[in-house]
Structure 1
Amino acid sequence: MGIDFHSKENQQSYTTRNVHSIWSETIQKLVPFDRISTALDVGCGGGIYSKALSDMGVDSIIGVDFSHAMLEGAKENCKGYPRISFTHGHAFDTGVEGESIDLLLERALIHHLQDLASCFKEGHRVLKEEGCYIIQDRTPEDCLVEGSDEHIRGYFFKLFPRLIDKETSRRHTSQTVIHHLKAAGFKEIEERKLWEIRKVYNHKNQLLQDLKERVGRSILHELDDNELQHLIQFIDRALPSEGQIVEKDRWTIWRVVK
């Protein structure tokens, strides 16, 4: 059935967690923040990464999303962050002035797009010379890591193998991403892997409740209510009963300089 990003029922789905310090520390190693004053967060969702950029000292952040519902959730989530503004736009047409941005972030965006050429062309247009472009997404290989106490997502595909094709078919290989970046005019491209801590749960029941509510995981919207309940029971049996759960996901990051 898929998630409806335009539904008001889902506008808080991507606002309910904070960015872990491991992400911020990784980005700080990749981006020269002493030269960054403006940032554009395309596909900003609930604004949690816009908040992280503000916390890292960026003077002005613009969050762009194609969903008015997501933007409403982001605005509510980012109250008290005067450096952040939000505008309706698209990865192919952000509405932002050309050569005006020092840092462009597109996290968990490109798997929603088939036309990478237009996306990267727009990225090249908005960035200043020597501007930094951070793209973060999963490759097909990232999606197939087995389930474990830390990699909860892997259990989704173990129990429902039909989700594998759904998940991997919408993911771009690294070779495809790099090809389109070069075609858009980018020459300096670096790739690395990141095990990002998604969320720390004090108890398993907190995780199970998140799963029940399909919080922040669009792939769960491919399951009906009975299948989701089956998955929750499966994960409940697979995970230890006591102690913290540190949920991680494996990502690929492409660092690009104009």
Structure 2
Amino acid sequence: MGIDFHAEENQGAYIGRAADETWLQAMRSLVNPKGKKVMDIGCGGGIYCKAWVELGAESVIGADFSEVMLKAAWENCRGDERIKFIRRAAHATGLPAGSADIVFARALIHHLPELDPFFEEAFRLLSPGGILIVQDRTMKDVLMPASPSHFRGYFLEKFPQLLAKESRRRPEDESVRETMRKNGFVQVDTRALWEVRRTYEAWSELETDLLARTGRSILHELSDEELQQLVEHIGEKVSHQQNIEEQDHWTIWIGVKG
């Protein structure tokens, strides 16, 4: 199985929420985006394009290889002239060299068969002194214990076979840092982040989100029957709560174009 990013039925999979203050604070601690030109590669539904504008970016270009995802992004960001979208691959955006102050990629690199082409392109896009910010999960992030706020832990608790999929696709921290340095980035660093993904007013809202597999590509590895079992399992843990806060654990890599 696996998610098909080009399928019309998945058009709404990466919209319907806004970047949380935990993410906004994390970005402010790394870079001052005010007046900067940002490139969001693998932008999906444009959630973080809007967030960069909220942080004060002068302009944001979102790039994605899926026309379906970009249709959702256009609708999500409708009316904001500071945000533009292009259909391009992560390793070949076609944009001018040195045209970005910040290149950002969230939940992208675990989908890439090779890291070098993307980092080469990111380096090319950045102006001297520009900053690359990559947000993704390593296996350390994936293996964070389940809790009433970390639902992803329940995915593996209920269906341990998902670990095989995760172990094949998740990047290693040192490998990412090494590849960044190899492609010219300096001051390469790593940070950890607990990001609030979304807060649900009631279990029924979360239940609907999970059954739709919204923003969770790993759930496309489960059959409809397995997904129903998983949702029931999570419901046993959290359905009694109000204002259910969902958090995800991420690794963030930062590098500077010297």
Q: Same fold (TM over 0.5)?
A: yes
Distance 1:186 1:65 in 2: 23
Q: TM-score of the superposition, structure 1-length normalised?
A: 0.98
Q: Which residue of 1 aligns with 2:108?
A: 109
Deviations 1:157-189 (A, max 9, x none): 000000011012201110100110011011111
Q: Which residue of 1 aligns with 2:89?
A: 90
Distance 2:186 2:67 in 1: 34
What letter is aligned with 1:2?
Answer: G
Distance 1:242 1:163 in 2: 27
Distance 1:169 1:146 in 2: 20
Contact persistence 1:143–1:168 (CA under 8 A): no
What letter is aligned with 1:97?
Answer: P
Q: Gaps spanning 5+ residues in structure 1: where?
A: none
- The CA RMSD measured in Å over matched residues stands at 0.9
Distance 1:76 1:33 in 2: 24
Q: Is residue 15 of structure 2 the alignment partner of residue 15 of structure 1?
A: yes
Q: TM-score of the superposition, structure 2-length normalised?
A: 0.98
The 5-angstrom pairing of residues 98-247 of structure 1 reads: 98-247=97-246
Deviations 1:16-44 (A, max 9, x none): 1111011011101101224x421100000
What letter is aligned with 1:142?
Answer: D
Distance 2:63 2:10 in 1: 17
Contact persistence 1:54–1:81 (CA under 8 A): no
Distance 1:242 1:13 in 2: 25
TM-fit CA distance, 1:204? 1.4
What letter is aligned with 1:195?
Answer: W
The 5-angstrom pairing of residues 44-59 of structure 1 reads: 44-59=43-58
Contact persistence 2:202–2:239 (CA under 8 A): no
TM-fit CA distance, 1:240? 4.7
Runs of 4+ in 1 over 6 A off after TM superposition: none
SS of 2:103 mapped into structure 1: strand
Identity value in percent? 45
Distance 2:152 2:215 in 1: 12
Distance 2:37 2:242 in 1: 41
Contact persistence 1:39–1:62 (CA under 8 A): yes
TM-fit CA distance, 1:128? 0.2
Q: Gaps spanning 5+ residues in structure 2: where?
A: none
Number of residue pairs matched by the alignment:
257
What letter is aligned with 2:200?
Answer: Y
